[in-house]
């Protein structure tokens, strides 16, 4: 019985439609330079401060609680490497931080302790 299933599997594999060179096309690569930049950005919360590293640009930073309510918003502020902003957030909570520049937007999750 096992040989029968193996035979059918091989038969299906070898009789499936053959690909010709004309039917194969290359899709554009989803990789972008901004992907590298986004991967270098780190956001964390420590000692009542929001810390952002790996970004040198003007940005809009918004912080949301888990219910979707915006708890803080900073428009068009200069973020340089090792940026820090004093902000008091309730402890033992999870927040979503949205960092948006002219070229990209990325969200981060932070946990306050």
Give me the domain span that covers residue 97.
43-113
Q: 67 in a domain, yes or no?
A: yes
Tokens at residue 47, please? 């000692």
Adjacent-strand bridge partners of 100: 60, 105
Domain count, the chain: 1
Q: 8 in a domain, yes or no?
A: no
Specify the pLDDT at position 111.
94
Q: Tell me the pLDDT of the chain (113 aa) as tens digits.
A: 666 666 666 666 666 545 444 455 555 655 555 555 567 899 999 999 999 999 999 999 999 999 999 999 999 999 988 899 999 999 999 999 999 999 889 999 999 98
Specify the pLDDT at position 4.
67
Specify the pLDDT at position 59.
95
| CATH label of the domain that carries residue 91 | 2.60.40.3580
Specify the pLDDT at position 10.
64
- Give me the torsion for CA of 95, 47, 54, 73, rounded to 10°: 50
Q: What residues contact 77, with CB distance under 8 A and at least 6 apart?
A: 58, 59, 60, 61, 85
- Report which DSSP code applies to 59: E
What does DSSP say about strands 57-65 and 70-79: parallel, antiparallel, or unpaired? antiparallel
């Amino acid at each position: 019985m096992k040989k029968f299933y193996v035979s059918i599997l091989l038969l299906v594999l070898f009789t499936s439609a053959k690909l010709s060179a004309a039917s194969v096309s290359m899709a554009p690569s989803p990789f972008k330079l901004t992907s590298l930049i986004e991967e270098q950005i780190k956001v964390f919360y420590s000692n009542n401060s929001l810390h952002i590293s790996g970004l040198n640009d003007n940005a809009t930073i918004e912080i949301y609680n888990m219910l979707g309510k915006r708890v803080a918003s900073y428009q068009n502020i200069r973020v340089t490497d090792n940026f820090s902003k004093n902000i008091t957030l309730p402890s033992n909570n999870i927040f979503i931080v949205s960092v948006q520049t002219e070229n990209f937007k990325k969200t981060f999750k932070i946990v306050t302790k």
